[in-house]
Amino acid sequence: MEVLKAIKERRSIKKYLNKDVPLKTVLELIDAAHQAPSSGNLQNWRFIIVKNQKIKQEIAEACLDQTWMSEAPVLIVICSDREHLRTYYEKYTNTYSIQNCALAAQNLMLRAHSLKLGTCFVSGFSKMALKRALKITEGIEPESVIAIGFPTENPVSKRTSLEMITFFESYGNRRTDKSIYPLGDKLKLLFSKIKKK
Ligand SMILES: Cc1cc2nc3c(=O)[nH]c(=O)nc-3n(C[C@H](O)[C@H](O)[C@H](O)COP(=O)(O)O)c2cc1C
């Protein structure tokens, strides 16, 4: 699937078919996540695949009682080896830990979408409860939980306009020439011209 198509189509999915996601597919998702950039190429991400119903329920509880999560056939908990990061980047451990794992998560979700799987990124949780449920050891921190399954809903994208969020040369400086918006359409045109060449 074309990258832009996957980026545009991906939505957070919280309702799933009662259908297993094969382990081979789950590992494909992790492989995509593992291709993400990371600070110093330290690859601090660690992945816990959870299919066990009881553990999924414990995770859903740790995620502030988001019960829908236990209905997902698979949960992948993305953890960070913060100790490993700390050895190299003491001052930036927290920042890099979150950033590296978030980039991995997005890769994973886009690959999942390209395989017709729905995902939802969750990071509203009690770290302590999650660590307890998953026997996560010292120095390792959960960064996010990705719920995965075949979607039974098709939510629409809710986004503000590019005009609202884009500035030129300095913060707050908007273009008065509105004809350049939406940039997305202009880029699409540009890409199609490049393709034709
Ligand atoms: C840092 C972060 C934390 C999130 N935590 C939760 C969460 O705890 N529960 C949930 O249902 N969705 C969670 N989401 C998903 C967002 O609600 C969702 O991405 C947003 O509403 C935009 O919808 P979309 O992903 O379909 O474009 C989280 C997303 C991010 C990036």
Share of the chain above pLDDT 90, in %: 86
pLDDT of residue 181: 82
Per residue in 93-132, pLDDT tens? 999 999 999 999 999 999 999 999 999 999 999 999 999 9
Minimum CA distance residue for ligand 1 atom 23: 12
- How does strand 45-50 pair with strand 118-122? unpaired
* Distance in angstroms (rounded) separating the CA atoms of residues 112 and 6: 9
Among 121, 143, 157, 160, name the best residue to mutate to test ligand 1's pocket (greatest count of ligand atoms within 8 A of Cβ): 121
pLDDT top residue among 191 and 57: 57
Q: How far is CA 68 from CA 20, 55, 64, 98, 125, in A?
A: 16, 14, 11, 24, 14
Minimum CA distance residue for ligand 1 atom 26: 11
Per residue in 139-187, pLDDT tens? 999 999 999 999 999 999 999 999 999 999 999 999 878 788 876 565 5
**Domain boundaries, given as residue ranges, for the chain:** 3-149, 162-196
Question: What is 3-149's CATH topology?
Answer: NADH Oxidase (3.40.109)
pLDDT of residue 70: 98
**What's the pTM?**
0.92
Q: What is the mean pLDDT of the chain?
A: 94
Residue 195 has pLDDT above 90, yes or no: no
